């Protein structure tokens, strides 16, 4: 940069813009490096101090500390802010990297992806249009192509990075609704709103499907009533015979089946619906076939278990959550379609942003395929990850996790203190403490007590869920560092709390 400009900038900084040193730009490189180093130190302290997954702090205890903070009175000192953030946040943050965090679908993240985060937020490209991202758009497209290929889609396929599985599922339902309406009723929902018979549209899911499908139906004006839940079999997979019965019944009642959603890896059990059977039924009744592989996309990474999601390639659309199963920081997800023309259903051309003539001139504007406008370059994290660790390296993590989950299932099955509900295709196990020989206690109560004790002490975190109205505990194992010894030790703790409840009550 030329010195005259620098001097001008410096003098303006003194007289006009007292905070100019905080802007990310070439005159502040030193400040940038300095602060990033401090940020890194703060993360390192988090790693060094997180001896257990959670401090156990209660909202009440923590809320007190927020009372005297005046956001209109900046401290202006990084030392103070890092210290403040440590007491309010970092020291109580849930440590997903801790081997005894086995609660929700949160993975530990990989270092190359964190390196990418630094570039993503510093350079701050927005991936809506070519003129705001350039190479970023092409990198995203290449990662989408890669994902489509791993799914087994043909070259006609396409996709987009999204904020999460919920958004991807919403897009799947959106395309299903609009496609059906235009194809079978010659009614364009994008232009004209919902057709009169929209309240009769029906979408089929298993009772173990993610709630975001219902939410999507309600956002899309179909109402939650549009979602028909199909019972699962003993291993918590959609029963495809009951699916066909349900479709026929809805037709008999004058309703209009438009889509079926199969879950490849349910949130609670990690099991995969019979994709090939469901694909066949979807085809027979001309239904949109969406596969929610938010969790199960992990299996794309491993040759050993890839066969478990055979059939995913028949989908019209697929949800994958890289931030669930590819060890990516939030947010990083994908929505993939078999045929790129499906996106025409939602493309909107804005003169200022993505005028139609850009398409003719082959200028790629990703906003044409997204329901977001300004959009993070999350794809760069996956790029770094694949270039450094590779598919096989990530696949080894997944194989390790599945192995540990299998061992854990065996432990639970062989221990008379526990009742295990499922074997998992992935790594989620639903079980409960049930060592009550005289059946005098309410098992839901004991297990709720156990869960709250674990949370309060924070030495190990497990999740909870309800099955047939009963409360169960859940392990979601997503950390290749979690060993069977860790699981054993968590089970010992669970037994202690269980015994404690029985003794006291």
User: Which residues contact ligand PLP (rule: CB under 6 A)?
Assistant: 105, 164-166, 169, 210, 212, 263, 267, 292, 294-295, 321, 324, 333
Q: How many CA atoms lie within 13 A of 383 on its CB side?
A: 21
By beta-carbon proximity to ligand PLP, the closer residue of 297 and 380 is 297
Output the smallest distance, CB 232 to ligand PLP, in A. 14
CB atoms within 10 A of CB 351: 8
By beta-carbon proximity to ligand PLP, the closer residue of 104 and 495 is 104
Output the smallest distance, CB 296 to ligand PLP, in A. 8
Output the smallest distance, CB 105 to ligand PLP, in A. 5
Output the smallest distance, CB 475 to ligand PLP, in A. 15
Contact (Cβ atoms closer than 8 angstroms) between residue 312 and residue 152: yes
Minimal CA–CA distance to 177: which of 156, 160, 199, 155?
199
Contact (Cβ atoms closer than 8 angstroms) between residue 501 and residue 454: no
Output the smallest distance, CB 381 to ligand PLP, in A. 14
By beta-carbon proximity to ligand PLP, the closer residue of 324 and 338 is 324
Output the smallest distance, CB 425 to ligand PLP, in A. 12
Output the smallest distance, CB 205 to ligand PLP, in A. 10
Q: Extract the tokens encoding 244.
A: 């066909």
Output the smallest distance, CB 233 to ligand PLP, in A. 18
Question: Residue 71 and residue 368: Cα distance in Å, rounded?
Answer: 38
Burial class (CB within 10 angstroms; exposed 0-12, middle 13-18, buried 19+) of 16: exposed
Question: Residue 256 and residue 498: Cα distance in Å, rounded?
Answer: 49
Q: How are beta strands 101-102 and 461-467 bridged, if at all?
A: parallel
By beta-carbon proximity to ligand PLP, the closer residue of 110 and 294 is 294
By beta-carbon proximity to ligand PLP, the closer residue of 294 and 312 is 294
Output the smallest distance, CB 165 to ligand PLP, in A. 2
Contact (Cβ atoms closer than 8 angstroms) between residue 293 and residue 264: yes
Q: Strand order in 333-337's β-sheet?
A: 158-162, 333-337, 317-320, 288-293, 256-263, 201-206, 227-230
Contact (Cβ atoms closer than 8 angstroms) between residue 442 and residue 363: no
Q: Give 3-state DSSP helix, strand, coil % of the chain, rounded to 5.
A: 50, 15, 35
By beta-carbon proximity to ligand PLP, the closer residue of 172 and 498 is 172
Contact (Cβ atoms closer than 8 angstroms) between residue 462 and residue 301: no
Helical spans, DSSP H, in 417-482: 443-457
By beta-carbon proximity to ligand PLP, the closer residue of 176 and 494 is 176
Quick one: residue 454, left, alpha or beta (phi over 0 = left, psi -120 to 50 = alpha)? Answer: alpha
* Number of residues in the chain: 505
For ligand PLP, which residue has the nearest CB? 165
By beta-carbon proximity to ligand PLP, the closer residue of 277 and 332 is 332
Q: How are beta strands 333-337 and 158-162 bridged, if at all?
A: antiparallel
Contact (Cβ atoms closer than 8 angstroms) between residue 263 and residue 297: no
Output the smallest distance, CB 449 to ligand PLP, in A. 27
Please work out, in degrees rounded to the nearest 5, the angle formed at the alpha carbon of residue 479 by the alpha carbons of 484 and 308. 90
By beta-carbon proximity to ligand PLP, the closer residue of 446 and 477 is 477
By beta-carbon proximity to ligand PLP, the closer residue of 329 and 364 is 329
């Amino acid at each position: 940069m030329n010195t005259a400009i620098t001097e001008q900038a410096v003098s303006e900084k003194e007289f006009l813009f007292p905070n100019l040193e905080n802007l990310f730009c070439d005159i502040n490189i030193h400040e940038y490096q300095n602060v990033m180093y401090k940020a890194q130190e703060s993360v390192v302290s988090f790693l060094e101090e997180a001896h257990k997954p959670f401090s156990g702090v209660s909202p009440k205890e923590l809320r007190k500390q927020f009372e005297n903070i005046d956001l209109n009175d900046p401290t202006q000192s990084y030392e103070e802010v890092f210290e403040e953030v440590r007491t309010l946040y970092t020291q109580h943050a849930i440590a997903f990297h801790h081997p005894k965090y086995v609660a929700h679908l949160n993975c530990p993240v990989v270092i190359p992806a964190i390196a990418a985060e630094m570039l993503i937020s510093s350079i701050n490209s927005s991936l809506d249009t070519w003129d705001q991202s350039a190479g970023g758009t092409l990198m995203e497209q290449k990662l989408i192509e890669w994902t489509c290929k791993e799914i087994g889609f043909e070259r006609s396929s396409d996709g987009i990075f999204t904020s999460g599985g919920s958004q991807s599922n919403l897009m799947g339902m959106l395309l299903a609704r609009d496609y059906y309406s235009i194809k079978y009723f010659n009614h364009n929902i994008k232009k004209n709103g919902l057709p009169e018979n929209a309240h009769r549209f029906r979408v089929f899911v298993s009772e173990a499907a993610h709630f975001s499908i219902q939410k999507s139906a309600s956002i899309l004006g179909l109402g939650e009533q549009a979602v028909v839940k199909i019972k699962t079999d003993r291993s918590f997979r959609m029963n495809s015979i009951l699916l066909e019965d349900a479709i026929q019944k809805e037709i008999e009642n004058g309703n209009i089946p438009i889509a079926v959603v199969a879950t490849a890896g349910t949130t609670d059990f990690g099991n995969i619906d019979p994709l090939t059977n469901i694909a066949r039924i979807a085809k027979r009744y001309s239904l949109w076939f969406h596969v929610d592989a938010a969790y199960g996309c992990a299996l794309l990474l491993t040759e050993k278990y890839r066969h478990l999601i055979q059939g995913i390639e028949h989908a019209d659309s697929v949800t994958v959550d890289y931030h669930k199963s590819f060890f990516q920081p939030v947010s990083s997800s994908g929505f993939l379609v078999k045929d790129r023309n499906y996106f025409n259903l939602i493309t909107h051309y804005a003169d200022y942003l993505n005028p139609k003539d850009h398409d003719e001139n082959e200028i790629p504007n990703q906003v044409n395929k997204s329901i977001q406008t300004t959009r993070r370059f999350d794809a760069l994290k996956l790029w770094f990850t694949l270039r450094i660790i590779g598919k096989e390296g990530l696949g080894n993590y997944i194989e390790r996790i599945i192995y540990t989950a299998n061992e854990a299932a065996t432990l639970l099955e062989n221990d008379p203190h526990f009742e295990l509900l499922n074997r998992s295709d992935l790594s989620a196990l639903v079980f409960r403490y049930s060592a009550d020989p005289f059946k005098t206690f309410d098992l839901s109560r004991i297990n709720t007590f156990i869960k709250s004790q674990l949370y309060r002490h924070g030495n190990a975190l497990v999740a909870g869920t309800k099955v047939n109205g009963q409360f169960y505990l859940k392990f979601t194992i997503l950390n290749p560092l979690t060993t069977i010894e860790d699981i054993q030790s968590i089970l010992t703790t669970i037994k202690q709390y269980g015994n404690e409840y029985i003794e006291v009550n």
